[in-house]
Amino acid sequence: MQNYNQLDTFTTAASSHEEVKIAGESFILKPYGASKFQSLDEYRHIAIGQSSLSTSFQLESLPSTSTAAKQHSYCTYLTVQQWMGNTLPPTEWG
């Protein structure tokens, strides 16, 4: 069974930007079986290096970048907090 405790970060009103970024990125790494990696960018680098040895590299099989995941995580956090009745400044989280 998978451990998704980091998702509690999205329901905690006092989560920091760094906590949300880390929780989101580690969650996105799980379906790729890449939980041992610290970042999506690190995993992408390794995956590209391994895949370049084959002739059928599928670019769409790579996860998003760390920066894209961070922005997605911020938007997700903002949405969850709004659902919970907490008003956050969209310019900081959107």
- List pLDDT tens digits, range 80-90: 999 999 999 99
* Residue 70: per-residue pLDDT: 94
Domain ranges of the chain: 5-93
pTM of structure: 0.81
Other C-beta atoms closer than 10 Å to the C-beta of 48 total 12
Q: How far is 14 from 56, CA to CA, in rounded Å? A: 45
What is the per-residue pLDDT across 20-78, written as a single tens digit (0 to 9) for each? 999 999 888 888 888 788 888 888 887 777 665 555 667 777 778 899 999 999 999 99
Q: How far is 9 from 33, CA to CA, in rounded Å? A: 21
